[in-house]
Structure 1
Amino acid sequence: MNELRHQIEKEAQAPAMGPQVAYVTVGEEADGQRIDNYLLKSAKGVPKSHVYRILRSGEVRVNKGRVDATYRLKAGDVVRIPPIRVATAAPSTAFVPPASFPVLFEDAHLLIIDKPAGVAVHGGSGVAFGVIEQLRQAHPEARFLELVHRLDRETSGILMLAKKRSALVGLHEQIRGNALDKRYFACVAGEFANARQHVKFPLFKYTTPDGERRVRVQADGLASHTVFNRVEAFSGFTLLEAELKTGRTHQIRVHLAHSGFPIAGDEKYGDFALNKALARAGARPGLRRMFLHAHQLTFAHPSTGEAITVRAPLPAECQAFLQQLREQAGRPG
């Protein structure tokens, strides 16, 4: 894909040379990718309608034959790309600092990290950059690096990235089939009565007048399912483990808030007076973040099929909050 992008940039910068046809050999990073998405991602700035037109007209060929937009590329395919002109983009002035994060698992196919709270997974919506941009800066040699899933900015814990296109495709199939076992720790306000409880409120995503993304329970929303297991009970708080059966935006946060058990420190759906009290200087128990942490992920390795379980320890500030609750209850640490 880098070769194709280089060819497009070369033509955009040197029109005097005249239009040229590019022949690009597909590498492993694009194995399994649809050709329309391959072209759209590489030819940024080219109208989508133009990309589909050259596909329909047969100007794009794979191994000398015509293909439609749904064709999935294979490593080693030779793609004929007709001349594509793009406007020269202004160079980006945004500085993206490289960063490293605690690695929980890594091989030739996957990189799984422990994301801290307060860090976005990608840039956008007022955020200049996130984990994916920083990791790409830190690993310029990586030919392919993409997020497999997302975590809210305020949530800490396990974040999976694919180092190969085939791994990304395979893991997305597992996500669509609900084959990933994703578990979170959440400390909520209130005393959760049931040892295990299924919650299936439908969720509707909307945008507030000031452009903020929100979710609410609504009858015509998307079907959503979370299972909550009581881990430890305190006076006024409960530590829960949440099992995600579906993966809707803000699912755990909204399911708990709607059930009357807002997550401690949740600034969107939580108990704002409680959050303010927990964040005060010297507060005991004290907490200055949302207590939601992706602590365990079980999946089938996209290459070997081996069942893998990855765990991320509770961050220090969450451990300290639980320890203070235990001390108040007169329990040993």
Structure 2
Amino acid sequence: MTDNRKDSVSFQHIDAEDAGQRIDNYLVRILKGVPKSHIYRILRSGEVRVNRGRIDASYRLADGDEIRIPPVRTAERPVSSAPGSDFPVIYEDNFMLVINKPSGVAVHGGSGISFGVIEQLRKAHPDYRFLELAHRLDRETSGLLMLAKKRSALLKLHDMMRDNIPDKRYLALGIAPWQGKGGSVKFPLLKYLTADGERRVRVDDSGQASHTIFTVLERLGRFTLLEARLKSGRTHQIRVHMAASGCQIAGDDKYGDPATNRDLSRQGLRRMFLHAYRLTLPHPVTGETLTLEAPLPDELLAYLEKLRENGQEL
């Protein structure tokens, strides 16, 4: 796609990479800081033209289309103050980027957060023509996070995520002995808001179907180190499935016990013990099988060693 400006009108030329998407979604992406209401107004009024003709918001772009965009007033964007930052790269090519996200960093700005991983990477890499999150990780969770560097790769990754093709595995430390060697948990999950507007999830028969496969890796007294394999991708799925199974994740400030978490913090665990450590999936373009791993962060390794050295009595 090239961008030619004449006076205050811009002309966008669509190539194969941008073809196939709705024009409203395309304009929302490229007109950063312009309210969606204004974008839909200029579409309805016919001020946006494709190949010199009027179109509606549902029009799908084709390779070779020329879009005329009228002058628009751009609002100041809070994310413009995001500091450029890089994160440990696990895998990168022309189509995708996989990083090892640290705990405590949101994947994107919003809900009181000025910026996240995506804004920081875009600021650090203005040379990236396209960069979008392929999925999400909770702010408190560390580990493998996929981003797409081309729209074609993003669409393919989204298709794979919907079909649960990627094999996503996490390491979690539970505060209770887990019965047996593991097993499937299929509690349905329902999202809701607390009185102060915070997003939460609970087990509810009217919720969405969800499935996590747990495997016991190590028993450490009252703690259990588990591998969690996601077979669906619901919000806070592992956290709620473990809490509902009587084995809350150590350090979980949403579904754990505050007093227990304070004790864990005094013992050296000052974050939630949940880490996305392994990801296996076909490459979105080549089809080659990728198996990617992110090592357990030092602070979680150190706490595990402390449990082992102290006879599991912490």
Asked if these proteins are the same fold (TM beyond 0.5), I'd say yes
Structure 1 counterpart of 2:28, one-letter code:
L
Structure 1 counterpart SS, 2:307 = helix
Residue 35 of structure 2 aligns with which residue?
A: 45
How far 1:321 moved relative to its partner? Answer: 1.2
| Alignment partner of 1:326 out of 308, 311, 314 | 308
Distance (whole Å) between structure 1 residues aligned to residue 81 and residue 53 of structure 2: 43
Distance 1:289 1:200, change over 3 A: same
Distance (whole Å) between structure 2 residues aligned to residue 109 and residue 94 of structure 1: 25
Q: CA RMSD in A?
A: 2.4
Distance (whole Å) between structure 2 residues aligned to residue 178 and residue 279 of structure 1: 35
Q: How does 1:147-162 map to 2 (within 5 A)?
A: 147-162=133-148
Residue 181 of structure 2 aligns with which residue?
A: 195
Do the aligned residues in 2 keep the contact of 1:32 with 1:169 (CA within 8 Å)? Answer: no
| Alignment partner of 1:145 out of 131, 134, 146 | 131
The answer for unaligned runs of 5 or more in structure 2 is: none
| Alignment partner of 2:282 out of 300, 325, 329 | 300
Q: How does 1:74-85 map to 2 (within 5 A)?
A: 74=62, 76-81=63-68, 84-85=70-71
How far 1:51 moved relative to its partner? Answer: 5.1
Distance (whole Å) between structure 1 residues aligned to residue 182 and residue 189 of structure 2: 21
Residue 90 of structure 2 aligns with which residue?
A: 104
Structure 1 counterpart SS, 2:3 = helix
| Alignment partner of 2:50 out of 58, 61, 65 | 61
| Alignment partner of 1:172 out of 158, 163, 167 | 158
How far 1:41 moved relative to its partner? Answer: 2.6
Larger Cα-atom Rg = 1
How far 1:324 moved relative to its partner? Answer: 1.5
Distance (whole Å) between structure 2 residues aligned to residue 109 and residue 91 of structure 1: 27
Distance 1:2 1:198, change over 3 A: farther
Structure 2 counterpart SS, 1:175 = helix
| Alignment partner of 1:204 out of 183, 187, 190 | 190
Structure 1 counterpart of 2:61, one-letter code:
L
Do the aligned residues in 2 keep the contact of 1:29 with 1:144 (CA within 8 Å)? Answer: no
Distance 1:95 1:59, change over 3 A: closer
Structure 2 counterpart SS, 1:186 = strand
Distance 1:167 1:51, change over 3 A: farther
Do the aligned residues in 1 keep the contact of 2:79 with 2:115 (CA within 8 Å)? Answer: no
| Alignment partner of 1:315 out of 290, 297, 309 | 297
Do the aligned residues in 2 keep the contact of 1:29 with 1:143 (CA within 8 Å)? Answer: no
Residue 124 of structure 1 aligns with which residue?
A: 110
The answer for unaligned runs of 5 or more in structure 1 is: 12-19
| Alignment partner of 1:264 out of 227, 232, 250 | 250
Structure 1 range deviating more: 92-101 or 207-216 = 92-101
Structure 2 counterpart SS, 1:3 = strand
| Alignment partner of 1:244 out of 215, 220, 230 | 230
Structure 1 counterpart SS, 2:81 = coil
How far 1:66 moved relative to its partner? Answer: 7.3
Distance 1:329 1:129, change over 3 A: same
**Corresponding pairs, count:** 309
How far 1:34 moved relative to its partner? Answer: 2.5
Distance 1:298 1:65, change over 3 A: farther
Do the aligned residues in 1 keep the contact of 2:91 with 2:98 (CA within 8 Å)? Answer: yes
Distance 1:327 1:88, change over 3 A: closer
How far 1:272 moved relative to its partner? Answer: 1.8
CA offsets, 1:65-93, max 9 Å, x none? 7766555435x422232x53433424658
Structure 2 counterpart of 1:41, one-letter code:
R
Do the aligned residues in 1 keep the contact of 2:192 with 2:201 (CA within 8 Å)? Answer: yes
Distance (whole Å) between structure 2 residues aligned to residue 110 and residue 224 of structure 1: 27
Matched, 1:136 2:134: no
Structure 2 counterpart of 1:78, one-letter code:
D
CA offsets, 1:121-151, max 9 Å, x none? 1111111111111111110111101110111
Distance 1:58 1:85, change over 3 A: closer
Distance 1:45 1:199, change over 3 A: same
Structure 2 counterpart SS, 1:309 = strand
